Amino acid sequence: MIINILGAGTWGTTIGCLIAKNNPNYKINIWQRNQSKSQMISSSRQHENLPNHRMPENINFTSNFNNLDGESLTIIAVPTSAVSNILSSYSFTKKTKFIIACKGFDITSGWLPSQLLEVKYKVLAENISILSGPNHAEEIIDNKPSAAVIASTNEKLAKDLQKLFFHRNFRVYTSSDVMGVQVGAAVKNVIAIASGLCVGLELGDNAQAALVSRGMNELTTLKNLYRINIKSLYGLSGLGDLIATCYSKHSRNRKLGYLIGKGKTLHESKKEVGMVSEGVNTCKILYDISTEHKLNMPICNEVYNILFSNTNPKESIYNLMTRSLKIEN
Residue 79 vs residues 12, 37, 76, 262: alpha-carbon distances, Å: 10, 18, 9, 26
The alpha carbon of 140 is separated from its chain's Cα centroid by a whole number of angstroms, namely 15
Sequence-ordered list of residues with C-beta below 8 angstroms from that of 3, at least 6 positions apart, any chain: 19, 26, 27, 28, 29, 72, 73, 74, 75
Residue 107 vs residues 75, 112, 281: alpha-carbon distances, Å: 20, 9, 6
DSSP code string of 56-80: PTTEEEES-GGGS-TTSEEEE-S-H
**8 A C-beta contact, residue 289 and residue 110:** yes
Q: Which residues pair with 96 in a beta bridge?
A: none
**8 A C-beta contact, residue 193 and residue 303:** yes
SS3 at position 95: coil
Establish whether 163 is a catalytic residue. Answer: no
Q: Which of 188, 270, 271, 314 is catalytic?
A: 188
Distance CA 80, CA 110 (A): 11
Q: Give catalytic residues, as residue numbers.
A: 188
